[in-house]
Structure 1
Amino acid sequence: MDKKPEKLVPEVRFKGFTDDWEQHKLGDITIPIKTYPYTRKYETKNITKFKYIHYGDIHTGKAKKINEPSKLPSITKGNYSTLRNGDVVVADASEDYKGIADAAILLSTGAFSIIAGLHTIAFRPNRKLVFPMFIYYNLQTSRFKHYGYHVGTGLKVFGISSNLFFDYSAFHPSLIEQQEISKLIESLENLLSLQQRKLEILIKLKRSFLTKSMANSLDKNPELYFNSASVKWLKQKLSDLTIKEFKGNTKLNDTKPGKTEYLDAERLNGNVPLFIDKPINTLKSDILILWDGSKAGSVYYGFEGSLGSTLKAIRLNPKLVNSFFVYQQLKSKQDVIFNKYRTPNIPHVIKNFTKVYPIYFPSIAVQNKIARFLGNLDTLIEIQQKSIKDHKVIKKYLLQKLFI
């Protein structure tokens, strides 16, 4: 056992636990399990009752806390050293250091024989010393990630050897305290999963509503109506509904600090705002389109400020259309814009986009109702996204403070 450091307790601890934590190398508290260099070519669509854990599935999250092994890829039958409940499998290769030794834990084997596949290190925790879930969460701490970054090798692909992995010195308290820590984090993860499912439902609801409430031709009315089934829809080119459109010309290098928000692709995609000394030329009711670059054709709404040179603003006639309604229609057709309304080589939105792109719309009263409903859905989605983000921050805090 390694020499104990001065700090033997975490910053945050459950009431009633006062004993020092112990320090062991992973190799002293776990038993290595044979892995197999199986790539995707070994997978089969046949029902074989044999499954494997591929390192790529660990990175994507398909294999994390595995309690539904039927979802793992099937492989052909064989005489393998199989995994048991509580075994941990880590990815020994990653495209970045943050993914080094990302872990999965097998909570149920079901009726399957399961093995660890390509680019993995597998081990069985010594349950007399460590609780499997505690080790699984320990491998998510910043201390372990820093160790992986320090000992990992490679340029385009980072890797960690099994010798260096098992050489990592981990701290652990009594089994009872390990279980309490694991229960708390697992409860938070379960709550996160619930929040994520709620978000997915809201996104599906919005997608379904957009599909069923918007007309795509004058020959067929939408499936959903707010008022009468005899609502008449019209079709116009986007330019016929526009009172002003202009390309941005503000360049950040030509500005000084000020009070007007600078609008560029980075800001519209969530980066922190920058304030400059230019006049406001874009209103929150304007539809913004990224005109140049790899994401040319991306549609945005709800920003006010000075428009950057890669963006174009479209100001609609409020007597004819609700701008948020039109934005939602454009946003729902984002893939169509990408595929049909951009230049083929260096991505640009085609010059006559507004003159050729069709917009379908009912009366202003119906547009307003559709826009209001979609706006409420967007608000619920934003609230849900913030809740997920907040819970992830809490989990990160617990992983930092509950462990040494």
Structure 2
Amino acid sequence: MKNENLVPKVRFKGFSDPWEQRKLGNYVIIKSGDAPSEFVDGDEPYLKVDDLNNSTVFQNSTKHTVKGNAEKMIQSGSIVFSKRGAAILTNKVRILEKKMFMDTNMMALTPVETDLYFLYFLISEENLSKIADTSTIPQINNKHIIPYTIYLPCLMEQQRLGKVLILLSNLIAANEDKLEQLKTLKKLMMQKIFSQEWRFKGFTDPWEQRKLKWFLRVSKLKNIDGIFDKNSVLSVSGEFGVVNQIAFQGRSFAGKSILNYGILDHNDVVYTKSPLKSNPYGIIKTNLGKAGVVSTLYAVYAPLKTVYSPILGYYFNLDTRVNNYLRPLVNKGAKNDMKVRDEAVLEGKVCIPDSIETQKRICNLFSLIDNLIAANEDKLNQLKELKKYLMQNMFV
């Protein structure tokens, strides 16, 4: 949003002059890439649009190589983006970290008397797809870039802005990497522990395969007395487990009765009969949060004394495991019916330790990792919100 006075809402101390309106073409050298026919086989990097999917801010690698005229290489410190096709709409803008040849579907802007990082964030925020020619195939050409209006502060303020935002972007990227590492660690540990490849010291007894009904029974409790209101309606997410439907999905239950909904208590296990793409036979989760109610699309199971039920939620956390468990139990009576009857869900076999102590130790370990993941997700969201705020308030 443009400030009529050309002064951003938030500024570094010591800067008060209004930003100046300029033409983008006066502050960049514009280059487009070259078609593959201009090159021969070689080992020099050749940047294509699909390479932008494997980076965030900085572009330092490509899957493609060629050999060509060195004068046609795009210099490091250039800002690159797609100039033709639907990829324009994704607004993937990158800073080239090393010299590369470039495909004809891409454009590079090399800053002139302008801070690289400032210009990068300015172009990312402007989203140049809005100036693309869309009469046939979307494309951006020199005629769009040269006259495009931008707003610039003095070079020193540009440098301050660019430095802060690039540091923040690097911090976000580092936290994203850490979050992915934690999720990968959790997945690895779940595979190793439930395969019994990894065991706690002092525990050597083999786990027994038992039918799920050894650990659970079908719960028939309904919300007939209206103990739970519509703010307590729960749903099941493949990624996030049991969630509050209003808070998670913004669903409204105005005018709809929930008296026939099943009660899902804390530590109850729930099976959703609504198949998803990654879970064609449904999802099995343990309710680790507050008690609530679920619609008739769900089946609820109460734990017996033989199980610390959170372990079943972790056991069925992997899509492949829950699909392999439910597939043989699918109702074959109706054409294309992928659902499993409530009682039939309990007929499959699982392999978990009989010892409640071992079950709890496993769950405590995974809970610790879950808490680390949640804490890093919160931190990452805060950093992204901070960056969003700065982008909205430190630019004209």
TM-score bracket for this pair, using the shorter chain length: 0.7 to 0.9
- Find the residue that maps to 2:285 and give its secondary structure: strand
CA RMSD of aligned residues (A): 3.5
Shift, 1:36, TM fit: 2.7
Alignment pair present for 1:262 and 2:233 = yes
Q: 1:152-231 counterparts in 2 under 5 A?
A: 153=134, 159-215=139-195, 221-225=196-200, 227-231=201-205
Alignment pair present for 1:323 and 2:317 = no
Equivalent pair of 1:54/1:117 in contact (CA under 8 Å): yes
Shift, 1:191, TM fit: 1.5
Determine the structure 2 residue equivalent to 1:240.
214
Determine the structure 1 residue equivalent to 2:123.
139
Alignment pair present for 1:88 and 2:84 = no
Cα 1:99–1:363 shift into 2, 3 Å:
same
Cα 1:294–1:210 shift into 2, 3 Å:
closer
Q: 1:69-108 counterparts in 2 under 5 A?
A: 69=60, 71-79=61-69, 81-92=72-83, 99-100=90-91, 102-108=92-98
Mapped to 2, the partners of 1:158 and 1:263 lie a distance apart of 44
Determine the structure 2 residue equivalent to 1:313.
300
Equivalent pair of 1:282/1:307 in contact (CA under 8 Å): yes
Q: 1:281-320 counterparts in 2 under 5 A?
A: 281-295=263-277, 296=280, 297-302=282-287, 303=289, 304-317=291-304, 319-320=305-306
Number of matched pairs: 368
Mapped to 2, the partners of 1:192 and 1:363 lie a distance apart of 42
- Find the residue that maps to 1:341 and give its secondary structure: helix
Alignment pair present for 1:389 and 2:381 = yes
Mapped to 1, the partners of 2:217 and 2:64 lie a distance apart of 59
- Find the residue that maps to 1:201 and give its secondary structure: helix
Shift, 1:169, TM fit: 1.2
Equivalent pair of 1:90/1:122 in contact (CA under 8 Å): yes
TM-score (norm 1): 0.79
Mapped to 2, the partners of 1:12 and 1:354 lie a distance apart of 60
- Structure 1 residues not aligned, in runs of 5+: 216-220
Mapped to 2, the partners of 1:248 and 1:83 lie a distance apart of 67
Q: Please, which moves more after superposition, 335-344 or 321-330? A: 335-344
Equivalent pair of 1:248/1:311 in contact (CA under 8 Å): no
2:26 aligned partner, one-letter code:
D
Mapped to 1, the partners of 2:263 and 2:108 lie a distance apart of 59
TM-score (norm 2): 0.80
Give deviations 1:330-383, integer Å, cap 9, x for gaps.
113x22333673469957344434312423223001101111111121111111
Mapped to 2, the partners of 1:370 and 1:184 lie a distance apart of 42
Shift, 1:7, TM fit: 1.9
Cα 1:154–1:396 shift into 2, 3 Å:
farther
| Identity score, percent | 22
2:154 aligned partner, one-letter code:
S
Equivalent pair of 1:65/1:106 in contact (CA under 8 Å): yes
Equivalent pair of 2:83/2:106 in contact (CA under 8 Å): yes
Shift, 1:229, TM fit: 3.4
Mapped to 2, the partners of 1:189 and 1:121 lie a distance apart of 23
2:148 aligned partner, one-letter code:
Y
Give deviations 1:92-113, integer Å, cap 9, x for gaps.
357588623x21111334xxxx
* Pick aligned residue for 1:33 from 25, 31, 34: 31
